[in-house]
């Protein structure tokens, strides 16, 4: 089985930073590891509040990757994305979820937003991030 090296990735990953938000520590840690192996710089947050604090910081962020069903109010993943885009209007959004409701909802997907259902493969993650950051 081939593996992607720590610094190996594709062109979309070069000098790109992803803010990964997931309230499940194990999922967040494994996903961050995969993103780093694809060549991305990764910031992590366990909540919407933590993510917005990072968004207001000096670090350039190219993509927000957030779980749609963060613990808290319903729709918190989408609310986070909207607040994040007010701070970082050029950034792209990647929603992740074990539910496919978002993917099939009317009026979606937005051109700067995508959805990736959990569980996802490294190949799917590479493809979607490459498309969003192209």
Residue-wise pLDDT for 61-97, tens only, equals 999 999 988 876 556 888 999 999 999 999 999 999 8
Report the C-alpha gap between 52 and 19 in whole angstroms: 10
In CATH, what number is assigned to the domain containing residue 72? 3.40.50.2300
Q: How far apart are CA 129 and CA 67, in angstroms?
A: 15
Query: Could you give the CA distance from residue 45 to residue 53 in angstroms, rounded to a whole number?
Result: 9
Say if 62 falls within a structural domain: yes
> Which structural domain, as residue segments, surrounds residue 109?
18-133
Nearest to 63 by CA among 84, 33, 39: 84
Q: Does residue 5 fall inside a structural domain?
A: no
Single pTM value for the model? 0.84
Residues 1-48: pLDDT tens digits?
333 333 445 566 678 999 999 999 999 999 999 999 999 999 999 999
Query: What pLDDT, on a 0 to 100 scale, did the predictor assign at position 106?
Result: 45
């Amino acid at each position: 089985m081939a593996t992607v090296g720590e610094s190996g990735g594709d062109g979309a990953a070069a000098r790109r930073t992803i803010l990964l938000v997931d309230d499940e520590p194990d999922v967040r840690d494994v996903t961050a590891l995969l993103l780093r192996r694809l060549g991305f710089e990764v910031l992590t947050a366990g909540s919407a509040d933590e993510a917005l604090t990072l968004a207001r910081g000096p670090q350039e962020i190219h993509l927000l990757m957030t779980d749609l069903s963060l613990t808290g109010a319903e729709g918190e993943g989408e609310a986070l994305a909207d607040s994040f885009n007010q701070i970082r209007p050029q950034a792209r959004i990647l929603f992740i979820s074990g539910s496919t409701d978002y993917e099939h909802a009317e009026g979606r997907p937005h051109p700067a937003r995508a959805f990736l259902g959990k569980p996802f493969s490294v190949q799917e993650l590479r493809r979607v991030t490459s498309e969003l950051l192209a």
